Structure 1
Amino acid sequence: MYSNQEIVNIILPLVIVSGIVIFVIFRMVYKAKSGTLGRRESKKKQNILDSLIPLGMIAGFIFALILSLFPAVSMMHAIGMGPGIGLLFGYVGYEIYSRY
């Protein structure tokens, strides 16, 4: 039988990343419905704006792979949490870049 600590260690990354994903999706849907989604005047700047969220996820995954090389961090937790946190950082970058 699994102990309660092992169950929490398995479920916690899933809950955290799910919360981040739900937050980002609902914020983007709200911005799209209200018409305040970030738009840039040039195509190059718009492409940069549109690629911030996927680039954040890729950077989070790479950071998680590097972090999982250390024995204190489990590879499954790092790979699960890295892209989720990268999604949040990509969204924050999207919000900052869309204002300027």
Structure 2
Amino acid sequence: MKQVEIRSEVLGFAEQMEKRLQSHDDRPGWKKEPDAYLYDLLVSKVEKLGVTDFSDREAHLKLTTDIANFAMMLNDNMRRKEREHESRN
């Protein structure tokens, strides 16, 4: 497999995502959460972003990072389920 070079913008965003995740390390995490629950959280953040004033830079940065994190959580859970399914077969 060809090694992927990570763009600096992606790396910077990933760092912001990780900071937001670490700020919630007191919570149990997403690995056992139902996909529907994570999806609902994702949609609620997107809806909130849609009504947030674009001049509120801080709110937009937090919301877009939260949206990315919820998408990552869903992706991670789906990929984990695929790996578990494949290991059983």
Query: TM exceeds 0.5?
Result: no
Between Structure 1 and Structure 2, the one with more helix by share is: 1
Larger Rg: 1
Short-chain TM bin: 0.3 to 0.5
* TM-score normalised to structure 1 length: 0.32
* TM-score normalised to structure 2 length: 0.35
